[in-house]
Amino acid sequence: MENTLNNLPLNHKGVIKSLNNTGTIRRRLLDLGLVKGTIIVPVLVSPSKGLRAFLVRGTLIALRDEDSSNIKVSF
C-alpha cells in the first residue's frame, strides 16, 4: 500500500518512495538520510498534536504533519 508519511499508523514500518518537499527542508531531510528506500517508523505523537517523531536510521526526528504529508511511503 502506498500513502503519505503522515498517514502511516504509529509503530508501522514504512519505506520511503519519494520526497516532494522543497527548499531547505528537503536538504535537511536528505542530510538526515531520508532517501528513497529508507525505512521509517512513526513512534511518538506530540501531546499538542500536529507533530510526530519518527525512528529513521537509528535516530529519532520529529516532523510536522505538513512536512511529512510530502513524503510518500509504502507499507
Binding site for other proteins (CB under 8 A): 19, 21, 23-25, 27-33, 35-36, 38, 43-51, 53, 55, 57-64, 66-67
Q: Between residues 15 and 51, which has the closer beta carbon with respect to other proteins?
A: 51
CA distance 12 to 74: 11
Shortest distance (Å) from residue 2 CB to other proteins: 19
CA distance 41 to 20: 19
Q: Between residues 1 and 22, which has the closer beta carbon with respect to other proteins?
A: 22
Q: Between residues 9 and 31, which has the closer beta carbon with respect to other proteins?
A: 31
> Cell 514500518 belongs to which residue?
13
Are 10 and 42 within 8 A, CB to CB? yes
Shortest distance (Å) from residue 18 CB to other proteins: 9
Helix (H) or strand (E) segment spanning residue 31: helix 23-31
